[in-house]
Amino acid sequence: MPTATGVTESQLHFNNWPNDRGFDANYEERSPVELAVTGCIPSYAAGVLYRTGPGKYKVDGENGDTFQVSHWFDGFSETHRFRLVGSDATQPSMRVFYNSRFSTDYLMEEARKTGRLEKISFGQKRDPCKTVFQKAQSEFSPDPSSANMRGLDKPVGENQLAVFQKAQGELNPDPSSANIGVTLSVNMPGLDKAMDARWTGSSGIKTLYAKTDSTAYKKLDPETLEPIGLASQKDLHPDLDGPMSASHARSDPITGDVYNFNLAFGKSSTYRVFHVSASTGETTILATFEGTPAYLHSLFLSGDYVILCVWNAHLNPTVLKNGSFLQAIRPFDASEPTKWYVVDRTRGQGLVATYESPPFFCFHTINAWQEDAVNGSGVDIVTEFVRYDNADTLHMLYYENLISSSTEAKAHARDKKDTFRPEFARFRLSNIPTGPSTEIKVATAEWMICKDLAPELPTMNPKLVTQKHRYTYAITARDESTFFDGIVKFDSQTKTTLLWNHHAQSPGEPIFVPRPDGSEEDDGVLLSVVLDGYSSKSYLLCLDAKTLKELGRAQVNGPIGFGFHGQHIPANGVPTGDY
């Protein structure tokens, strides 16, 4: 059908694969509504599925103009809740209820009234003469040269964190003033001192926190999703006073203990790898060491070690004064190796080893485990992750390069550079020392595969975190659309793949829900929120994790924004934790 300009829908959108509404889904259901279910979602998937990420990027202003966020990572955060209710004597099939809420009302109102947002962002394009960090510094301290208010390129301790928080809106008493919504933690230990029994099937959902790559946490009501508070890593431990961390903390699958790092900038920037006990809520710093500051979205956890891989998204902290993380990421330097830091988490040995490998970039780690050393004695650590040749992809995640009706996005999809394509990778860290060592060892690549599928947002059976696993699930970007266009199952043993894809159906991260009595690794289902580009509405898709065949779906009454990550909490059983 022709549009008002005479262009047909198939001509308007790249490859007749519409996805615009997935980027600007101005849709909320603040009260739970029941969704129409077709097919059969297995009863063991009963529980709660949370999703979070950008909901929209446009706000209509008071003056008649429209404010637009530039970068996908800066979209206004929205959280979604699917409550899956198992069958019983009165209801023979699964029922699904859905509610959602933007967690950035204050920010959206500020944009509506002023037509701008003067906050630190990931990649917002702005007037270079008006730097948010300069404004934040002048407001916070009348004397920027004083000992209590030095620049981000110098060690500043608590003041460094406070300035950073102020520039992000995290010191505003209204929690919706901070755009925090990349990953979610259920029953996060350490932040709510009265909470106990986090890691039992009977504990239920007591708290819900949203996280991002700063050290801030946003507390949400687990049912209404209303933002109700802000916290930071400094609330966990006074020495965690740097401004950056990983959105993806890691949970021990047995104890529920949480592991992450804190990065403080300075002439010699400092990493602190820490552990939060699920049983006591106490935080312990496992290792403190100097390293090149970098944008690190995730880390690895094996049975005995935390592995912090400082890949090549190195930061110039002074450029953060311009208000953009992306501007602060230094150009990729192929002569600088990637550093791997191995921290003991069971015997109190601290930093035990440092490895180097050829440079690369990464968003998402998948898993790590220990094996008997291939050569010599001791153990090796095997890691799997999604690898990029360099960090070019960060600059391509502007909305103009993703939206199916955009001229720039169409051109990018037709001629995508190889460096924008990620791949599955396995690296080995051989012969882990039994105690601290200053020797720089070599991390070796065992394989890199599936670049033609460009996999991202990887998941796996959470029961096998820190153990050797075989199957990884991810979404694909095979250039059939300007964004994600399928779901892949990768078998690392046979190096084969299965694919789910249907035209104009754009999926999100596939969350693995294991069958409780399953005997095989892929016994379970995948839950993914999918946008139907033709109807501009989303649905919750349930796939058999063995075959990627559809089992059922729950139809949503509007579009759900292309988000980042989620968690499934079973009605009976242990939460999957942070990974």
Measured distance CA(114)–CA(359) in Å, rounded: 42
H/E segment holding residue 20: helix 20-23
Confirm whether residue 502 is marked as ligand binding: no
CA distance 256 to 577: 7
Is-contact 231 216, C-beta < 8 A? yes
Chain-centre distance of CA 150, in angstroms?
31
Q: Is 356 exposed, middle or buried (0-12, 13-18, 19+ CB in 10 A)?
A: middle
Instruction: Give CA–CA dist 321/319, Å, rounded.
Output: 5
Report in angstroms the alpha-carbon separations of 419 from 197, 260, 363, 388, 401: 45, 28, 14, 7, 15
CB of 319 closer than 8 Å to CB of 328: yes
Number of H helices, E strands in the chain: 7, 32
Q: Is 248 annotated as a binding residue?
A: yes
Q: 503 a known binding residue?
A: no
Structure tokens at 245: 């961390």
Q: CB of 445 within 8 A of CB of 425?
A: yes
With a CB cutoff of 8 Å and minimum separation 6, the contacts of 32 are 81, 83, 97, 98, 99
Say if residue 228 is exposed, middle or buried (CB neighbours under 10 Å; 0-12, 13-18, 19+): middle
Q: Do residues 352 and 435 touch, judged by C-beta distance below 8 A?
A: yes
Of 288, 313, 282, 280, give the one whose Cα is nearest residue 298.
313
Residue 537 bridge partners (DSSP) = 532
Distance CA 476, CA 453 (A): 5
Task: Report whether 314 belongs to an annotated binding site.
Answer: no
Please tell me the distance from the alpha carbon of residue 186 to that of residue 204, in angstroms, as a whole number: 9
Residues in binding site for Fe cation: 248, 297, 364, 565
Which residues does the annotation place in the binding site? 248, 297, 364, 565
